[in-house]
Amino acid sequence: MSADKQSTWSYTEALPFEDEVLLRARERSHELGVSAVSTGVGAALTVLAASSKAQTVVEVGTGAGVSGVCLLRGLGTGSVLTTIDSDVDHLRAARQAYSEAGIPGNRTRTISGRAAQVLPRLTDNAYDLVFIDADKPSFLLYTEQAVRLLKPGGLMIINGALDNGRVADPAARDQLTVTMRQVGRFIRDNDSLVSALLPTGDGLQLAVKTAARRPAP
């Protein structure tokens, strides 16, 4: 990254204000060894959730609740976040963050389990937003599941889509980087999706499931 691009990125990541609730959730993330979304991604999640007017949301990778609080703060009061994590200590910390953020208990459904087992049990075409932030080697599987879960008009958000800059580097061929490129290709090749890749955080892949198939360019 050029010095200009690096400082622009640092500037945008440093802009969002985070209150005590988010700072405490970040502290617990750190203590538990969880890598929470960046401040820029957190702010983007709140904006995307607010603009989507989503009622039903699935999150893969609860962590200690930083991303969940950001999503819930953008969502309307009638919305429900279903969030999946394989680690019960992480889920406990996330519930604490939701409670400190004043989120009523009936707006979150925390599911303990491996996403590959849990996602297939969720209903087709039933969700307005799916956020993927766990277990990168399985991102392609989670992306396929997200397409199935989303309603037409629903939004998919994938965190870490640039894999620490390696996705854009043609010389990088490690398995994780290849997987992230496959995810991008799967999304771009899918006629039912319109997409954009933002350089926010470590890359935020966005895709909306359209009601009709996209016409060929």
The residue of the chain with the least Cβ separation from ligand SAM equals 63
Q: Which stretch binds ligand SAM (CB under 6 A): 60-68, 148-156, 162-170, 174-182?
A: 60-68
Pick 144 or 194: Cβ nearer ligand SAM: 144
Q: DSSP character for 44?
A: H
133 near ligand SAM, judged by CB under 6 A: yes
- The position carrying tokens 């879960």 is 149
* Site for ligand SAM contains 143 (CB under 6 A): no
Shortest Cβ distance from residue 170 to ligand SAM (Å)? Answer: 26
Binding mask 61-80 for ligand SAM (x = CB under 6 A): xxxxxxx-------------
Q: Is 84 a residue that touches ligand SAM (CB under 6 A)?
A: yes
- For residue 136, give both structure tokens: 């990168």
- Per CB under 6 A, 35 contacts ligand SAM: yes
| Per CB under 6 A, 134 contacts ligand SAM | yes
First to last CA, the chain: 31
By CB under 6 A, residue 36 contacts ligand SAM:
yes
Interface with ligand SAM by CB under 6 A: which residues?
Answer: 29, 34-37, 61-67, 84-87, 90, 114-115, 133-135
